Amino acid sequence: MHNSLKRMWAVLGLVATVCAVAATSAIASHKAGPTIVIWTDANRAASVGKVANAWAASNGATIQVVTKDFGSIETALGTVAAADAPDVVVAAHDWTGQLAANGLVEPLFPSKAVSAQFPKYTLDAFSYGTAVKKLYGIPVQIENIGLLVNTKLAKIPTTFAQLESEALAAKKKAHLSFGICVQQGSGGDAYHMYPFFSGLGGYVFGTNKAGNLNPKDVGVANPTFIKNSKLIDKWNKEGLINSKTDYSVCDTAFTKSQTPFWITGPWAVSDIQKAGVSFKVIQVPAISQASVPFLGVNGMMVTKFASTHNVDTAAKDLVVNYFTTPSAQTQLAAAGGRAPANIKAKATDPILAQFGKASKGGVPMPNIPQMSSVWSDLGQAWVRSTKGAGAMPAARSFKGAARAISYKIG
Amino acid sequence: MSTASTPPNPAEPPAFHPGLIARSIAFFSGSVGLGIKVALLAASNALAVWALYVLATHHRWPALGVLVVATLLIDWVYLAPVRWTLPAKFLIPGTVFLVGFQIIPILFTIDVAFSNYSTGHILARDQAIAAIKINSLQPPANGRQYDIAPARDSSGRLVLVMHDETGGKVYLGTPKGLTELSKSDVTIGATGQPTAAKGYKLITGAELFTLDQQLRDYKVPTSGGAAIQPQGTAIGVELKPTLRYDSKRNVFVRITDGKVFHDNGLGSFVSGPDELEPGWKTHIGFRNFSRIIHDPLVRKPFLSIFVWTFVFAAATVFSSFAVGLFLAIVLDKRGLRFQKLYRSVLVIPYAIPGFLSLLVWAGLLNDDFGVINRVFGIHVPWLFGGNVFSWLPFISWPRIAVVLVSVWLTTPYFFLVSMGALQSIPDELTEAARVDGGGAWQIFRRVTLPLLLVAVAPLMIASFAFNFNNFNNVYLLTGGGPYNGASSIAGNTDILISYTYKLAIASGKGSDYGLASAVAIIIFFIVAGISGVSFWRTKSLESLR
């Protein structure tokens, strides 16, 4: 009957589609040789692909570069299905604790000759362990903030007192509500205020005998810092610091030559150069101690999925022996606009060199998972005591933050 | 000749002209409809085959079974020539989406709420044990590191030609142990790598990577339980395990002092305060819920945050409704010039992505640099400030700012909704009220508003539920701040959902998805309870009809 004919056509159509799909998926899944999957952010995707493919071509491997939002790599690694998981990831050093504690990344063992090409702190930044530390990543590029000085408006300060008086003079002249522009906001920003915090004797975590960061030793309200914290109240009163400034306020004020002083990192440079402002980058002059910045190191890690995919040895070769070479480091760091971690790699950019000098004595951002309890409270403590009228005395504010942090860490 | 007029045609039956809808239904009922049906079914079957392939490669057999049964059932319902499946044909598409996008996420959230899923508890148990074993490998004192080259000996077995970085000696590594080779037999390259060895064939190129598993498991034993293990194809490191897994007793034993780490039932091996990393994901019963009740960090600010969340959502909805309705009535006047223009302008806040306008508002409201304070020459501490009245600490400037911006974002919605609802109220009713001598206010209060509420009240409840969880509005504007108390966990403008985020994602030791899911479930019950009561109350409005 007519109806059964229709039905037959329908069934035939279904069968045909099913076969077509099965065939395409079978073809798509067929690969030759070891394939190393690398997760990277969009900025570095091209150079990571280029460097890795140079290695792969001479070793008979295939590279598959997957572009991800940089910030999402850390969490995505914990939820991704093994079949889609990467073998190598671009990573920030402060993810090390989280990823290693989750058992998602593999320890790496570069040769002594390779290790010797990296500053010790960059390797420390990627090391983690509750008892004995192990290296979980290869440093590729380093970044830090510094004090940007508009050389037309101010002399390069050599002491903090000089910085303070110049900043206050400039503030008065331009009718600004701040002397030094430090990016904050109502939520606070501990990364950008850290030079002042360290200059007053503050620290986040102390170290134990083995040299590991100790989450039980929180130095946010240590006695030295609390003693010096009266200075914060003074700066707030005279308007040297004003936490209502955010990135766009600072960017506008500095590029329009209203303020001579801005504490920021290499990401701000292109805006300033476009505006034609001549500037120099220095470390914030010492207050009671050296005012060192937080250091950030980006690099490459080998995930535990590399063994699942049977490309573990290949991935380790690529990361430990190839991404560490000076030429690879130069290319990778240039793509991110930062200085390479390998001391033999050439950083020709004079401004990056100035940022490099401003990093002297700096502290890598703590890479233990407990740091997630610190960021917001430390930033908020600073904002509470530098928000102008109605600010809380710094001693009280930071003591409160220290209590909250210790409580959250438990 | 008379021309006989042609007789009129016998009256034809009036031609039947089906309407557009009827015609389109007819168009789809024939072979076109069958074609579309087959195409859609083929697409859904193709999707299912693809999913089958993925599930099979991941060894998810129960899910695969469900998928096969569901797909066959769908095919049968749409193809089988039986009448009684007709209702199912209409219900299936909606049901599939309901299950996929509502039921499964809810079940998943409930599952997570009863687990310890968090930083350090992500892997499965066997994976965690493997990771602990790898992590426990330590270079022993005076442990050496070698530049290695995998090679084959005369009988084709895999061996390692090794160059000691510190001593400069060369060795042959086999699963039996180390044997020193004569330096003259081995050529060392510029990087310290052996590049040739007499009597051994070095493995190079693509063949190396086919040996991945063999190299990973390759061990050249040295003294005291340590072994040289390849790390990649070029480096061998002497490593010694510091922990031993006893699978019978299900414990890890520290080799140096015999300390026992036992399974604590909560996804970790522990010994006193010491915990081995990583742990694994497991179910922990009601612990997350009891933490919400017992942990003062969670419990103490909960009530005040709850009250503020309620006030925030209610203030937003009622103010937006009032403003939106006012504008709708004003612009409803007939013969108003530029009516369309006004209406379009008023809808703009709704059309701009909320993220964008929130960030713009954060800039506009900045206490010192914001346009608003500058233009009006005022010094209102919108984002950083404190109380408006010293005797009423509940109302602070940042809270007012959050509500204002939220009203700005929500008003266009109620403007549109009210406009539509107003037009649906028959003119006769207001006309009749006017004839009866009602004033404008009286007519609005007694006739327009009640009729309007029949349509708008359910939307107000939905909007309330949305604003109760309006994370973006708070987080992008104030970040939950300011933090005026000495302790800085709950900010002044934090609502329940933003507080939960801080508690679960940005505190303690990394992220705690289990706790976050538990709080999410509690918030769900709160919102469901409020909405349920409200819907029940609005039923009384419907009696107006």
**β-pair type (B251-254, B269-271):** unpaired
% of chain B residues with pLDDT over 70: 94
pLDDT higher than 60, residue A91: yes
Q: Do A372 and B510 touch (CB under 8 A)?
A: yes
Task: Compare CB distances from A373 to B42, B205, B507 and report the shortest one's residue.
Answer: B507
User: Angle, nearest 10°, between helix axes B61-79 and B31-57?
Assistant: 170
Residue A241 to residue A234: CA distance in whole angstroms: 10
- pLDDT recorded at residue A14: 63
Q: Which of residues 229-248 of B touch A (CB under 8 A)?
A: 230-235, 237, 242
Question: Which residues lie across from A281 on neighbouring strands?
Answer: A148
| CA-to-CA separations, B350 to B179, B343, B346, B347, in angstroms, rounded | 77, 12, 8, 5
Residue A19 to residue A12: CA distance in whole angstroms: 11
pLDDT tens by residue, B260-319: 999 998 999 998 888 888 899 999 999 999 988 887 777 778 888 889 999 999 999 999
pLDDT higher than 70, residue A25: no
* B38 part of contact set with chain A, CB < 8 Å: yes
Please state the φ and ψ torsions of residue B500, each to the nearest 5 degrees. Answer: -60, -45
pLDDT higher than 50, residue A30: no
Residue B489 to residue B481: CA distance in whole angstroms: 10
Residue B385 to residue B403: CA distance in whole angstroms: 15
- pLDDT recorded at residue B3: 46
**β-pair type (A134-135, B158-164):** unpaired
Q: Do A408 and B297 touch (CB under 8 A)?
A: yes
Structure-block tokens of residue B90: 């209409």
CA distance B194 to chain A (A): 14
Same domain, A348 and A376: no
Question: How much is the average pLDDT of B47-62?
Answer: 87
Q: Which of residues 58-87 of B touch A (CB under 8 A)?
A: 58, 75, 79, 81
Provide the CATH number for the domain formed by B296-542 in this structure. 1.10.3720.10
Same domain, A261 and A349: no
Picking from B351-360, B388-397, B465-474, which range would have the lowest pLDDT averaged per residue?
A: B388-397
Minimal Cα distance from B479: which residue of A? A187
% of chain A residues with pLDDT over 90: 62
Q: Identify the residue among A36, A74, A171, A186 best suited for mutation to test binding to B, counting B beta carbons within 10 A and taking the highest.
A: A186
**Which residues in chain A are contacts of B301 at CB distance < 8 A?**
none
Helix and strand tally (H, E) in chain B?
Answer: 20, 18
Q: Do B122 and A304 touch (CB under 8 A)?
A: no
**Which residues in chain A are contacts of B242 at CB distance < 8 A?**
131-132
Q: Do B46 and A380 touch (CB under 8 A)?
A: no
Minimal Cα distance from A380: which residue of B? B483
- pLDDT recorded at residue B141: 79
Same domain, A246 and A392: yes
* B205 part of contact set with chain A, CB < 8 Å: yes
Same domain, A343 and A252: no
DSSP-based three-state secondary structure for B197? strand
Q: Are B237 and B143 in contact (CB under 8 A)?
A: yes
Same domain, A256 and A403: yes
Same domain, A289 and A300: no
Task: Compare CB distances from B232 to A25, A243, A317 and report the shortest one's residue.
Answer: A317
Q: Look up the domain containing A341 and give its range.
A: 35-136+296-358
Same domain, A200 and A301: no
- pLDDT recorded at residue A139: 95
**Which residues in chain B are contacts of A22 at CB distance < 8 A?**
49, 53
Q: Identify the residue among B118, B125, B135, B239 best suited for mutation to test binding to A, counting A beta carbons within 10 A and taking the highest.
A: B135
* B489 part of contact set with chain A, CB < 8 Å: yes
CA distance A275 to chain B (A): 21
**Model ipTM?**
0.78
Q: Do B34 and A408 touch (CB under 8 A)?
A: no
pLDDT tens by residue, A337-392: 889 999 998 767 899 999 999 999 999 999 998 898 898 889 989 998 998 888 88
Q: Which of B260, B410, B257 is nearest to B327 (CA)?
A: B410
pLDDT tens by residue, B177-222: 888 888 888 888 877 888 888 888 888 877 888 888 888 889 999 8
Q: How many CB pairs under 8 A join A and B?
A: 254
Q: Do B506 and A10 touch (CB under 8 A)?
A: no
What's the Rg (C-alpha) of chain B? Answer: 37
Say if A23 falls within a structural domain. Answer: no
* B212 part of contact set with chain A, CB < 8 Å: yes
- pLDDT recorded at residue A5: 56
Task: Provide the CATH number for the domain around residue A347.
Answer: 3.40.190.10
Q: Do A75 and B506 touch (CB under 8 A)?
A: no
Task: Compare CB distances from B235 to A249, A320, A370 and report the shortest one's residue.
Answer: A320
pLDDT higher than 70, residue A29: no
Task: Compare CB distances from B122 to A102, A106, A317 and report the shortest one's residue.
Answer: A102
Q: Which of residues 160-199 of B touch A (CB under 8 A)?
A: 165-166, 191-192
Local structure of residue A155 (DSSP, 8 states): -
Q: Do B209 and A321 touch (CB under 8 A)?
A: no
CA distance A77 to chain B (A): 10
Task: Compare CB distances from B232 to A132, A177, A321 and report the shortest one's residue.
Answer: A321
CA distance A312 to chain B (A): 6
Number of domains chain A is built from: 2
Q: Do A110 and B480 touch (CB under 8 A)?
A: no
Can you spell out the DSSP letters for B380-435? --TTT--EEETTEEEEEHHHHHHHHHHHHHHHHHHHHHHHHHHHHS-HHHHHHHHH
> If pLDDT is split at 50, 70 and 90, which confidence band does A7 have?
low
Which of the two residues, B9 and B267, has the higher pLDDT score?
B267
Q: Which of A122, A114, A90 is nearest to A344 (CA)?
A: A114
Residue B176 to residue B221: CA distance in whole angstroms: 7
* B127 part of contact set with chain A, CB < 8 Å: yes
Question: How much is the average pLDDT of B35-50?
Answer: 87
Residue A281 to residue A145: CA distance in whole angstroms: 9
Please state the φ and ψ torsions of residue A394, each to the nearest 5 degrees. Answer: -60, -40
Q: Identify the residue among A30, A36, A95, A102 best suited for mutation to test binding to B, counting B beta carbons within 10 A and taking the highest.
A: A102
- pLDDT recorded at residue B541: 66
Instruction: State the average pLDDT for chain B.
Output: 86
Q: Indicate the fold that domain B139-241 takes in CATH.
A: Periplasmic binding protein-like II (2.40.430)
- pLDDT recorded at residue B1: 42
pLDDT higher than 70, residue B229: yes
Same domain, A93 and A206: no
pLDDT tens by residue, B68-112: 999 999 888 888 877 888 888 889 889 989 998 999 999 999 999
Place of tokens 């150079």: A47
Q: Do B119 and A321 touch (CB under 8 A)?
A: no
- pLDDT recorded at residue B491: 83
- pLDDT recorded at residue A52: 94
- pLDDT recorded at residue A1: 45
pLDDT higher than 80, residue B520: yes
Residue A220 to residue A395: CA distance in whole angstroms: 10
> If pLDDT is split at 50, 70 and 90, which confidence band does B341 have?
confident
Cα–Cα–Cα angle for A364, A369, A374, rounded to 5 degrees: 70
Same domain, A80 and A161: no
Residue B49 to residue B320: CA distance in whole angstroms: 49
pLDDT tens by residue, B459-515: 999 999 999 999 999 988 888 878 766 555 678 888 989 888 887 776 667 788 898
Minimal Cα distance from A403: which residue of B? B487
Residue B121 to residue B279: CA distance in whole angstroms: 5
Q: Do A187 and B481 touch (CB under 8 A)?
A: yes
